[in-house]
Structure 1
Amino acid sequence: MIDPVAETVWRRLSPRMLVVHPFQEVVRAAPALLGLLVAGSSSGGKGHLWTVGGVGLMVVLGMLRWFTTTYRITPEHVQVRRGLLTRKVLTVPRDRVRTVDVTSHVLHRVLGLARVEVGTGTSERRHEGRLKLDALTTAEAARLRVELLHRSPAASTASAEKAVVTPPAGSTPAAETELARMRPEWVRFGPFTMSGLVTVGVVAGFVSRLVSEGNVDLGRVGPVRETWRWFSALSLPLEIATVVLVLVVFVSVASTLGYVLAFGNFRLTRHAEGTLHVTRGLLTTRATTIEERRLRGVEVGEPLLLRAVRGARLAAVTTGLRAAQGAQRGGSMLLPPAPRERAVSVARLVLPRVSAGTRDARDAAASGGASPVTAGLTAHGPAALRRRFTRAYGVHALVLAALLALCWWAGLPSWTWLTTAALLPLTALLAADRYRSLGHALTSGYLITRWGSIVRRRVVLECDGVIGWNIERSFFQRRAGLATLTATTAAGKQGYQVRDVDLAEALRLATAGTPGLLDPFLVEARTMSTLSANSM
């Protein structure tokens, strides 16, 4: 419980951050520091002195972050004040707090610290609606999370005590219900997440910057020179096969390792206070709490490779959380890549249950199940199918024409356009798969939309969370009698589309989803039609 006397007093972060902040600054500047060391040493200068000076500067900057950052929590606001030359005060009303994200990196865990990130649901794409406290003690972070979300001082103290006390192995606190837990067999989905591609980019960028800053000639490095000599002696097909094989192996290993580190010890629980709590991570632990009353739906994502092994991931459509941050889905992730059946079952548990006596529930039950997660979808018509193939073939033709032009004018090898022409059947398969993924439904008070091929997504959005509808029609859509219906919401990506649907069906969905919202426009349209007919 927050001391009323201390509520108006500006407080500092934990003094242990005097160790963490300087370390973070040194790591962030590591390529430049290594470049100074290598460049100074190779030119006969005192590179080590420049490096020591740089490290000292980074340490001072890190310490200044602690001295210039203060915060306070009042009954109405959470405020953070930071800056040395320019003072900034970020104020978040407590009634606007939507989520609290608690993260502990390796050094944080060693020192018993945690970083608290408070989400308000505003400007999440620019990160302007998030307040960060880096960092507090673990006990203070757990207590603050409960205090800000539940806003009940008495309950907060008891809940915070339970949050910092580790239950016996194999037991579950009475105040929570476990919905999902990481299974060892889920690791097999790691190589198919392709998150290792990010590792390839990071490593390549780090090496490139190190070589540039240090003015290093890789051709003089023995192992690199010998490897390049062996690689250059291969034929072109063997070179391509070698590069692909090395890349696949590296990405698979990196993806699996990243999966284990990011999602190890994963648990999804429902708490009696009306929240969903997600904890995960081995080296870096992360705990995210979502108020169920802020939940507006779920998204089942199936990337192409993950779908090939019957896997999927689950994310929440809720206010106050970043909609997407790579494979980890930012803070909105409810289930990591796992068997698709498990993702569907967790989605059914997370979504509010349909009342048994409502007409929507009876209709859903008659259609084969009360959950909108498994409801059947309405396929889009022949016009949408033609549009998928027209767009796919059009892009393919443009690429092929560009390659032919480059072959004619710039002497590009002929195998480039021949390979592109040979990929035409693959383009047809992609277009057909994109059409099969299209679908929509409106049942049990939820709008359901599905789209995508490289990443197929099925979004179940609560109609009560829709604040507006937007109907867009491009030039070609108008000729085909199609439209794209966008349900605008304050949650998730703030807009979810039903793509290439008949105009009449788009109007029906919008009218049924939010009864009465479009009546003035529809009445006006009918009146204008009547007047036009009478004038004729």
Structure 2
Amino acid sequence: MIDVVETTLAWRRLSPRMLVIHPFQEVVRAAPALLGLLVAGSSSGGQGHLWSVAGVALMVVLGMLRWFTTTYRITPEHVQVRRGLLNRKVVTVPRDRVRTVDVTSHVLHRVLGLARVEVGTGMSERRHEGRLKLDALTAAEAARLRVELLHRSPAAAMASSTVSSTVLSSTVSPVAPPAGSTPAAETELARMRPQWVRFGPFTMSGLVTVGVVAGFVSRLVSEGNVDLGRVGPVQETWRWFSAMSLPLEIATVVLVLVVFVSVASTLGYVLAFGNFRLTRHTEGTLHVTRGLLTTRATTIEERRLRGVEVGEPLLLRAVRGARLSAVTTGLRSAQGAQRGGSLLLPPAPRADAVAVARLVLPRVADAPSVSASEASPVTASLTAHGPAALRRRFTRAYGVHALVLAALLALWWWAGLPSWTWVTAAALLPLTALLAADRYRSLGHALASGYLVTRWGSLARRRVALECDGVIGWNIERSFFQRRAGLATLTATTAAGKQGYQVRDVDLAEALRLAAAGTPGLLDPFLVEAAAPLSPNSM
């Protein structure tokens, strides 16, 4: 029996099929440099193709070394990964610290039946701490590992330990579930609808594509020493463009950019969120699957969920759309909801986002006299922040606008800058006023059903419902100008999401009331009751 256990806990290698994955990834990553070697060598009369072949061979060898130098093992207490050739590194994740399991399959992964597993623990991720990657396991092993790490009731853990002790080899197929067991029951909360695609152009994700294409072309030109001015189609396009007047040139650039970004954003929306599905499992987890070419599956423990965030960027809000994200531990919220895995609903009708948010949040027993819509954190009425916050919005907006206008006027007067620059800036003053007014209308806060609700932003409006039980501290910050206006910024500190959510430019007395009501007793040692004024009779 000792030999069997030792074999079970032995270090194992990833799937041999990853010998195709990693070399291909290394070659794609180095493609601009390899193309540069080819172009530079050929244009100078050298053996550019030989250098490119040598570079490809080097990338393939480096990719294959990743398989030979990477091993892993799963014990009843830990998940460990050992990698590196010259700099050997062992990453260990305690199983009781596992918060999320992210399963991703790119196109090549899916062709070969593989998947990449990322295990998150909710720790600091500034340097990718607290995350463990297994690239690549077979799809069946990845699915089994996800269930084993997250759906661990005491009985399941004992059964898993018993099954593991009977494994005779570290290279056998994934262990099948015990006879008579039934798959986990799930309830579907949301599914992708074809009509949601109309929100794709308003996500503006195509701007990233513009940056990627521009960066790739710039690097290719730099590495290959290519003169685009000598390329025939480029010359013709530039000659046609230069013949236009300045207003027509600006209109043409804007039109081409809008069309390209809209098409790229729609295509990216379909590829990223195709086959989207959100389900709730009886073991207490939320499961999100999405993607056409690259599939991704994220599992979130509901007991780690501390709230939700409803995001409404300006363009998406104009067509009554919104996206929904989870405020939970263990997800890379600093990298954005989509990349970090906290996305619960892609850009969709706002009514759908609100409905899903109410299904996801833990149910709270409402008072009989209060309707469900009024008590729900995602639909509760918000308290405005008063005239001082309104003045602060207009003062800051016009202050920035005035500085820009003054700089343009100075450059026009002393440096000969075209006059249309400062004229345009002056004409945009009404737009600045609208932006300031919208930023004020977005401000609001409330305490509803045990949640702190805060909303802010205009270009990217966000409404966060944070569970008060998840708040571990309160910070009150007051700048010089806030003190003069009697305002403060209240920050609720939490271990989930972005680790802090602000109620901005709120009256100081209201900020103290929110903190005291959100966490009763926490601020009592620091609060002093105001002395009652003396009456004339007491004199």
TM-score of the aligned structures, taking structure 1 as reference length: 0.92
How far has the Cα of 1:73 moved from its partner?
Answer: 1.1
Is the contact made by 2:117 and 2:136 (CA closer than 8 Å) also made in structure 1?
Answer: yes
- Aligned CA RMSD, in angstroms, stands at 4.2
How far has the Cα of 1:155 moved from its partner?
Answer: 16
How far has the Cα of 1:158 moved from its partner?
Answer: 20
Is the contact made by 1:125 and 1:322 (CA closer than 8 Å) also made in structure 2?
Answer: no
Counterpart pick for 2:407 among 393, 398, 402:
402
Identify if the C-alpha distance between structure 1 residues 313 and 156 changes in structure 2 by more than 3 Å, giving closer, same or farther: farther
Identify if the C-alpha distance between structure 1 residues 172 and 150 changes in structure 2 by more than 3 Å, giving closer, same or farther: closer
Identify if the C-alpha distance between structure 1 residues 85 and 74 changes in structure 2 by more than 3 Å, giving closer, same or farther: same
Is the contact made by 1:195 and 1:327 (CA closer than 8 Å) also made in structure 2?
Answer: no
**In 2, distance between residues paired with 1:127 and 1:316?**
20
Structure 2, unaligned runs of 5 or more: 155-163
For structure 1, which segment, 79-88 or 407-416, has the greater mean C-alpha deviation from structure 2 after superposition? Answer: 407-416
Identify if the C-alpha distance between structure 1 residues 27 and 377 changes in structure 2 by more than 3 Å, giving closer, same or farther: same
Identify if the C-alpha distance between structure 1 residues 499 and 140 changes in structure 2 by more than 3 Å, giving closer, same or farther: same
**In 2, distance between residues paired with 1:156 and 1:431?**
67
Is the contact made by 2:27 and 2:56 (CA closer than 8 Å) also made in structure 1?
Answer: yes
How far has the Cα of 1:404 moved from its partner?
Answer: 1.3
Is the contact made by 1:313 and 1:335 (CA closer than 8 Å) also made in structure 2?
Answer: yes
Structure 1, unaligned runs of 5 or more: 355-359
Deviation per CA, 1:50-107, whole angstroms, max 9, x where unpaired?
0000000000000111111111111111111111111111111111100000000000
Identify if the C-alpha distance between structure 1 residues 165 and 93 changes in structure 2 by more than 3 Å, giving closer, same or farther: closer
In structure 1, the residue matched to 2:351 is 341
For structure 1, which segment, 316-325 or 92-101, has the greater mean C-alpha deviation from structure 2 after superposition? Answer: 316-325
Identify if the C-alpha distance between structure 1 residues 228 and 430 changes in structure 2 by more than 3 Å, giving closer, same or farther: same
SS in 1 for 2:335: coil
**Matching of residues 17-96 of structure 1 within 5 Å:** 17-96=18-97
SS in 2 for 1:15: coil
Deviation per CA, 1:323-382, whole angstroms, max 9, x where unpaired?
15457252000000000000000000000111xxxxx64464388xx3211111101100
**In 2, distance between residues paired with 1:159 and 1:347?**
45
Is the contact made by 1:396 and 1:427 (CA closer than 8 Å) also made in structure 2?
Answer: yes
**In 2, distance between residues paired with 1:158 and 1:316?**
41
In structure 2, the residue matched to 1:417 is 422
Is the contact made by 2:321 and 2:347 (CA closer than 8 Å) also made in structure 1?
Answer: yes
**In 2, distance between residues paired with 1:170 and 1:399?**
72
How far has the Cα of 1:122 moved from its partner?
Answer: 0.7
Is the contact made by 2:325 and 2:337 (CA closer than 8 Å) also made in structure 1?
Answer: no
**In 2, distance between residues paired with 1:395 and 1:144?**
53
SS in 2 for 1:162: coil
Identify if the C-alpha distance between structure 1 residues 534 and 202 changes in structure 2 by more than 3 Å, giving closer, same or farther: farther
**In 1, distance between residues paired with 2:245 and 2:37?**
40
**In 1, distance between residues paired with 2:218 and 2:277?**
38
How far has the Cα of 1:151 moved from its partner?
Answer: 2.5
Identify if the C-alpha distance between structure 1 residues 514 and 327 changes in structure 2 by more than 3 Å, giving closer, same or farther: closer
Identify if the C-alpha distance between structure 1 residues 344 and 166 changes in structure 2 by more than 3 Å, giving closer, same or farther: farther
In structure 1, the residue matched to 2:464 is 459
How far has the Cα of 1:403 moved from its partner?
Answer: 1.1
Deviation per CA, 1:377-398, whole angstroms, max 9, x where unpaired?
1011000000000000000011
**In 1, distance between residues paired with 2:37 and 2:420?**
45
Runs of 4+ aligned structure 1 residues displaced above 3 Å come to 1-4, 6-9, 152-174, 324-327, 360-364, 529-536
Deviation per CA, 1:417-473, whole angstroms, max 9, x where unpaired?
111111000000000000000000001100000000000000000000000000000
For structure 1, which segment, 399-408 or 129-138, has the greater mean C-alpha deviation from structure 2 after superposition? Answer: 399-408
Identify if the C-alpha distance between structure 1 residues 284 and 315 changes in structure 2 by more than 3 Å, giving closer, same or farther: same
Is the contact made by 1:114 and 1:138 (CA closer than 8 Å) also made in structure 2?
Answer: yes
Is the contact made by 1:389 and 1:431 (CA closer than 8 Å) also made in structure 2?
Answer: yes
Identify if the C-alpha distance between structure 1 residues 155 and 430 changes in structure 2 by more than 3 Å, giving closer, same or farther: farther
Deviation per CA, 1:154-205, whole angstroms, max 9, x where unpaired?
9999999999999999999870000000000000000000000000000000
Identify if the C-alpha distance between structure 1 residues 435 and 524 changes in structure 2 by more than 3 Å, giving closer, same or farther: closer
Is the contact made by 1:304 and 1:453 (CA closer than 8 Å) also made in structure 2?
Answer: yes
Is the contact made by 1:143 and 1:161 (CA closer than 8 Å) also made in structure 2?
Answer: no
Deviation per CA, 1:215-274, whole angstroms, max 9, x where unpaired?
011111111110000000011011000000000000000000000000000000000110
Is the contact made by 2:286 and 2:302 (CA closer than 8 Å) also made in structure 1?
Answer: yes
For structure 1, which segment, 511-520 or 68-77, has the greater mean C-alpha deviation from structure 2 after superposition? Answer: 68-77
Is the contact made by 1:297 and 1:459 (CA closer than 8 Å) also made in structure 2?
Answer: yes
Identical pairs, percent = 90
* Alignment: residue pair count: 526
For structure 1, which segment, 120-129 or 299-308, has the greater mean C-alpha deviation from structure 2 after superposition? Answer: 120-129
**In 1, distance between residues paired with 2:397 and 2:237?**
41
How far has the Cα of 1:516 moved from its partner?
Answer: 0.5
Identify if the C-alpha distance between structure 1 residues 438 and 145 changes in structure 2 by more than 3 Å, giving closer, same or farther: same
Identify if the C-alpha distance between structure 1 residues 169 and 177 changes in structure 2 by more than 3 Å, giving closer, same or farther: farther
SS in 2 for 1:234: coil
How far has the Cα of 1:4 moved from its partner?
Answer: 7.3
